[in-house]
Amino acid sequence: MPSDIAVYGLGVMGRNIALNMADRGLKVTVYNRTRSVTDAFIAGIPDDSTIVASHDLSGMVDSLARPRILFLMAKAGKVVDLIIEGLLPHLDTGDIVIDGGNSYFKDSQRRRRQLGERGIRFLGVGISGGEEGARHGPSIMPGGDPAAWPLVRDMFRDIAARADDGQPCCRWVGEGGAGHYVKMIHNGIEYGDMQLIAEAWQLMRDGLGMPAHEIAETFALWNQGPLS
Protein backbone atom coordinates (compact mmCIF):
# COMPACT_ATOMS: atom_id res chain seq x y z
CA MET A 1 0.00 0.00 0.00
CA PRO A 2 1.51 3.37 -1.00
CA SER A 3 2.20 6.06 1.56
CA ASP A 4 -0.01 9.12 1.87
CA ILE A 5 2.85 11.55 2.39
CA ALA A 6 6.64 11.72 2.76
CA VAL A 7 8.43 13.72 5.43
CA TYR A 8 11.91 14.82 4.34
CA GLY A 9 14.03 15.75 7.35
CA LEU A 10 13.98 14.09 10.76
CA GLY A 11 15.05 16.85 13.07
CA VAL A 12 12.94 17.69 16.11
CA MET A 13 10.04 19.08 14.07
CA GLY A 14 10.17 16.57 11.23
CA ARG A 15 10.15 13.45 13.34
CA ASN A 16 7.34 14.72 15.55
CA ILE A 17 5.22 15.77 12.58
CA ALA A 18 5.69 12.26 11.16
CA LEU A 19 4.58 10.68 14.45
CA ASN A 20 1.59 13.03 14.62
CA MET A 21 0.55 12.03 11.09
CA ALA A 22 0.89 8.34 11.89
CA ASP A 23 -1.29 8.81 14.98
CA ARG A 24 -4.01 10.19 12.68
CA GLY A 25 -3.95 7.08 10.50
CA LEU A 26 -1.71 8.33 7.71
CA LYS A 27 0.95 6.11 6.18
CA VAL A 28 4.16 8.13 6.17
CA THR A 29 7.47 7.58 4.39
CA VAL A 30 10.38 9.27 6.18
CA TYR A 31 13.75 10.22 4.77
CA ASN A 32 16.81 11.99 6.14
CA ARG A 33 19.99 12.83 4.26
CA THR A 34 22.03 11.14 6.99
CA ARG A 35 20.99 7.49 6.91
CA SER A 36 21.88 6.85 10.56
CA VAL A 37 19.31 9.45 11.64
CA THR A 38 16.59 7.61 9.73
CA ASP A 39 17.67 4.25 11.16
CA ALA A 40 17.71 5.58 14.72
CA PHE A 41 14.23 7.07 14.31
CA ILE A 42 12.74 3.89 12.87
CA ALA A 43 14.35 1.78 15.60
CA GLY A 44 12.48 3.79 18.22
CA ILE A 45 8.93 3.37 16.90
CA PRO A 46 6.56 0.39 17.36
CA ASP A 47 6.60 -2.43 14.81
CA ASP A 48 2.96 -1.78 13.93
CA SER A 49 3.58 1.90 13.11
CA THR A 50 2.40 3.21 9.74
CA ILE A 51 5.76 4.93 9.30
CA VAL A 52 8.19 3.43 6.79
CA ALA A 53 11.74 4.47 5.95
CA SER A 54 13.43 5.25 2.68
CA HIS A 55 17.16 5.70 2.21
CA ASP A 56 17.14 7.28 -1.25
CA LEU A 57 15.12 9.98 -3.00
CA SER A 58 13.75 7.80 -5.78
CA GLY A 59 12.55 5.20 -3.30
CA MET A 60 10.89 7.86 -1.17
CA VAL A 61 9.03 9.37 -4.13
CA ASP A 62 8.10 5.97 -5.60
CA SER A 63 6.57 4.92 -2.28
CA LEU A 64 3.86 7.59 -2.51
CA ALA A 65 0.33 7.57 -3.86
CA ARG A 66 -0.32 10.02 -6.69
CA PRO A 67 -0.26 12.92 -6.71
CA ARG A 68 2.86 12.55 -4.57
CA ILE A 69 2.95 14.81 -1.48
CA LEU A 70 6.35 15.65 -0.01
CA PHE A 71 6.67 17.58 3.24
CA LEU A 72 10.08 19.24 3.66
CA MET A 73 11.16 19.94 7.23
CA ALA A 74 14.55 21.53 6.64
CA LYS A 75 16.52 24.60 7.63
CA ALA A 76 15.35 27.69 5.79
CA GLY A 77 17.46 29.18 3.02
CA LYS A 78 19.64 27.61 0.35
CA VAL A 79 19.15 24.13 1.84
CA VAL A 80 15.50 24.14 0.73
CA ASP A 81 16.48 25.04 -2.83
CA LEU A 82 19.06 22.26 -2.91
CA ILE A 83 16.53 19.73 -1.66
CA ILE A 84 13.99 20.78 -4.27
CA GLU A 85 16.67 20.63 -6.97
CA GLY A 86 17.47 17.06 -5.94
CA LEU A 87 13.81 16.05 -5.94
CA LEU A 88 12.80 17.53 -9.29
CA PRO A 89 14.11 14.66 -11.49
CA HIS A 90 11.86 12.28 -9.54
CA LEU A 91 8.66 14.37 -9.64
CA ASP A 92 5.84 14.51 -12.16
CA THR A 93 3.25 17.10 -13.10
CA GLY A 94 0.72 17.57 -10.31
CA ASP A 95 2.98 16.43 -7.47
CA ILE A 96 3.01 18.63 -4.36
CA VAL A 97 6.06 19.98 -2.52
CA ILE A 98 5.43 21.49 0.91
CA ASP A 99 8.00 23.61 2.75
CA GLY A 100 7.19 23.44 6.46
CA GLY A 101 10.26 25.35 7.66
CA ASN A 102 10.62 29.01 8.62
CA SER A 103 11.37 30.19 5.10
CA TYR A 104 11.43 33.84 4.03
CA PHE A 105 8.12 34.57 2.34
CA LYS A 106 9.76 35.99 -0.80
CA ASP A 107 11.67 32.71 -1.22
CA SER A 108 8.33 30.91 -1.05
CA GLN A 109 6.90 33.24 -3.69
CA ARG A 110 9.83 32.42 -5.95
CA ARG A 111 9.57 28.66 -5.37
CA ARG A 112 5.83 28.74 -6.01
CA ARG A 113 6.46 30.45 -9.34
CA GLN A 114 9.41 28.30 -10.41
CA LEU A 115 7.80 24.98 -9.52
CA GLY A 116 4.50 26.06 -11.03
CA GLU A 117 6.26 26.58 -14.36
CA ARG A 118 7.20 22.89 -14.24
CA GLY A 119 3.74 21.72 -13.25
CA ILE A 120 4.71 21.05 -9.62
CA ARG A 121 2.40 22.45 -6.95
CA PHE A 122 4.12 24.23 -4.07
CA LEU A 123 2.91 25.13 -0.59
CA GLY A 124 4.79 27.28 1.90
CA VAL A 125 3.42 26.39 5.31
CA GLY A 126 4.07 28.11 8.62
CA ILE A 127 4.03 25.74 11.59
CA SER A 128 3.90 26.93 15.19
CA GLY A 129 4.03 25.08 18.48
CA GLY A 130 7.56 23.76 18.66
CA GLU A 131 8.35 20.15 19.46
CA GLU A 132 5.24 19.59 21.58
CA GLY A 133 2.97 21.16 18.99
CA ALA A 134 4.47 19.18 16.13
CA ARG A 135 3.89 15.97 18.07
CA HIS A 136 0.36 16.59 19.33
CA GLY A 137 -1.09 19.46 17.28
CA PRO A 138 0.55 22.58 15.83
CA SER A 139 -0.97 25.74 14.46
CA ILE A 140 -0.67 25.48 10.67
CA MET A 141 -0.59 28.42 8.23
CA PRO A 142 -0.76 27.10 4.65
CA GLY A 143 -0.24 29.25 1.57
CA GLY A 144 1.02 28.87 -1.99
CA ASP A 145 -0.70 27.09 -4.86
CA PRO A 146 -4.47 27.10 -4.24
CA ALA A 147 -4.87 24.00 -6.44
CA ALA A 148 -2.79 22.01 -3.92
CA TRP A 149 -4.74 23.06 -0.84
CA PRO A 150 -7.82 20.82 -1.31
CA LEU A 151 -5.51 17.80 -1.67
CA VAL A 152 -3.84 18.30 1.72
CA ARG A 153 -6.55 20.16 3.63
CA ASP A 154 -7.98 17.17 5.49
CA MET A 155 -4.62 15.80 6.64
CA PHE A 156 -3.47 19.25 7.79
CA ARG A 157 -6.65 19.79 9.77
CA ASP A 158 -6.40 16.32 11.28
CA ILE A 159 -2.91 16.93 12.68
CA ALA A 160 -3.53 20.54 13.79
CA ALA A 161 -4.24 21.78 17.30
CA ARG A 162 -7.83 22.53 18.26
CA ALA A 163 -9.17 25.89 19.41
CA ASP A 164 -11.53 26.14 22.39
CA ASP A 165 -14.51 25.73 20.05
CA GLY A 166 -13.07 22.54 18.59
CA GLN A 167 -12.08 24.06 15.26
CA PRO A 168 -8.68 23.05 13.84
CA CYS A 169 -5.95 25.70 14.09
CA CYS A 170 -5.39 25.53 10.35
CA ARG A 171 -6.78 27.81 7.67
CA TRP A 172 -5.76 28.68 4.13
CA VAL A 173 -4.16 32.14 4.26
CA GLY A 174 -3.46 32.91 0.60
CA GLU A 175 -1.32 32.43 -2.47
CA GLY A 176 2.39 32.88 -3.09
CA GLY A 177 4.34 33.25 0.14
CA ALA A 178 1.33 34.05 2.32
CA GLY A 179 1.80 31.09 4.67
CA HIS A 180 5.35 32.03 5.57
CA TYR A 181 4.43 35.72 5.71
CA VAL A 182 1.80 34.98 8.38
CA LYS A 183 4.32 32.84 10.28
CA MET A 184 6.80 35.75 10.17
CA ILE A 185 4.21 38.08 11.72
CA HIS A 186 3.38 35.41 14.31
CA ASN A 187 7.06 35.13 15.23
CA GLY A 188 7.40 38.89 15.48
CA ILE A 189 4.52 39.08 17.98
CA GLU A 190 5.97 36.20 19.99
CA TYR A 191 9.44 37.75 20.14
CA GLY A 192 7.86 41.07 21.17
CA ASP A 193 6.20 39.27 24.09
CA MET A 194 9.53 37.74 25.08
CA GLN A 195 11.24 41.13 24.97
CA LEU A 196 8.47 42.64 27.13
CA ILE A 197 8.91 39.91 29.75
CA ALA A 198 12.69 40.45 29.76
CA GLU A 199 12.35 44.23 30.16
CA ALA A 200 9.81 43.85 32.98
CA TRP A 201 12.26 41.55 34.78
CA GLN A 202 15.10 44.07 34.30
CA LEU A 203 12.99 46.98 35.57
CA MET A 204 12.05 45.05 38.70
CA ARG A 205 15.63 43.98 39.36
CA ASP A 206 17.56 47.14 38.43
CA GLY A 207 14.92 49.86 38.77
CA LEU A 208 13.07 48.65 41.85
CA GLY A 209 15.81 46.58 43.45
CA MET A 210 13.52 43.58 43.89
CA PRO A 211 15.21 40.30 44.92
CA ALA A 212 14.83 37.28 42.69
CA HIS A 213 12.16 35.58 44.81
CA GLU A 214 9.92 38.66 44.72
CA ILE A 215 10.29 38.92 40.94
CA ALA A 216 9.36 35.25 40.67
CA GLU A 217 6.31 35.78 42.88
CA THR A 218 5.23 38.75 40.76
CA PHE A 219 5.45 36.79 37.53
CA ALA A 220 3.58 33.89 39.15
CA LEU A 221 0.78 36.30 40.12
CA TRP A 222 0.58 37.80 36.65
CA ASN A 223 0.51 34.33 35.14
CA GLN A 224 -2.80 33.57 36.87
CA GLY A 225 -4.78 36.19 34.94
CA PRO A 226 -5.20 37.41 31.36
CA LEU A 227 -1.41 37.48 30.89
CA SER A 228 -1.16 33.70 31.46
187 phi-psi bin (left φ>0, alpha ψ -120 to 50, beta other)? alpha
Q: What is the 3-state secondary structure (H, E, C) of the chain?
A: CCECEEEECCCHHHHHHHHHHHHCCCCEEEECCCHHHHHHHHHCCCCCCCEEECCCHHHHHHCECCCCEEEECCCCCHHHHHHHHHHHHHCCCCCEEEECCCCCHHHHHHHHHHHHHCCCEEEEEEEECHHHHHHHCCEEEEEECCCCHHHHHHHHHHHCCECCCCCECECCCEECCHHHHHHHHHHHHHHHHHHHHHHHHHHHHHHCCCCHHHHHHHHHHHCCCCCC
Active site residue 190: yes
Beta strands 121-128; 139-144: pairing state: antiparallel
| Residue 106 bears catalytic tag | no
Find the catalytic residue in 75, 106, 132, 190: 190
Active-site residues, by number, are 183, 190
